[in-house]
């Protein structure tokens, strides 16, 4: 159940990110704000890796995983740039729920691209998330 602790932490910090990000983009270019945030993340992650003595790289990093990590980084950066720009233009209470459509998108992509099993629970959960977002934005 360790994954559940980390997933819950992710949700908490993502919610906090919306509020702190909204406060942080006031009077600053959203792209610059994203850059500052990225530098902070770089230093925090480097600190954690250092504290845990995890700087050892594998002997061989296969091209496929490395390519997907790079593409994931690009997707993350584009997501953050869009997110901060949206926060600059609208209340966090409007932006954050739409951002959480990423859950539905991840489920769809997991099923279509990764062949993950589709269950009635996934369908119902996705529809509930989508319904909640629509209720909040309309």
Examine the pLDDT at 1 and tell me if it is beyond 80: no
> Which pLDDT score is estimated for 58?
79
Examine the pLDDT at 38 and tell me if it is beyond 90: yes
* Paired tokens of 78: 């584009």
Q: What is the mean pLDDT of residues 94-119?
A: 94
Q: What is the mean pLDDT of residues 12-20?
A: 91
Q: What is the DSSP letter of 116?
A: P
Average pLDDT, the chain: 93
Domain residue ranges in the chain: 1-89, 91-137
Which H or E run contains 73? helix 63-89
Which H or E run contains 54? none
List Cβ neighbours of 107 (8 Å cut-off, separation of 6 or more).
122, 125, 126
Residue in this structure with the two tokens 């997110």, named with its chain if needed: 83
Give the C-alpha separation, 97 to 137, whole Å: 8
> Which pLDDT score is estimated for 61?
83
Give the C-alpha separation, 26 to 106, whole Å: 30
Question: What's the pTM value of the predicted model, to 2 decimals?
Answer: 0.83
Half-sphere exposure of 125 (CA within 13 A, CB side): 13
Is residue 137 very low, low, confident or very high in pLDDT (cuts 50, 70, 90)? Answer: confident
Q: What is the mean pLDDT of residues 115-126?
A: 96
């Amino acid at each position: 159940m360790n994954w559940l602790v980390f997933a819950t932490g992710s949700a908490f910090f993502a919610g906090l990110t919306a509020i702190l990000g909204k406060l942080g983009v006031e009077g600053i270019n959203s792209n610059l704000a994203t850059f500052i945030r990225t530098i902070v993340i770089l230093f925090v992650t480097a600190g954690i890796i250092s504290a845990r003595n995890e700087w050892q790289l594998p002997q061989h990093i296969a091209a496929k995983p490395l390519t997907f990590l790079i593409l994931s980084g690009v997707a993350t950066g584009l997501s953050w740039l869009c997110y901060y720009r949206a926060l600059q233009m609208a209340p966090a209470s409007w932006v954050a729920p739409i951002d959480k459509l990423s859950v539905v998108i991840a489920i769809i992509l997991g099923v279509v691209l990764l062949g993950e099993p589709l269950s009635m629970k996934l369908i119902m959960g996705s529809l509930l998330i989508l319904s909640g977002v629509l209720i909040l934005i309309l």
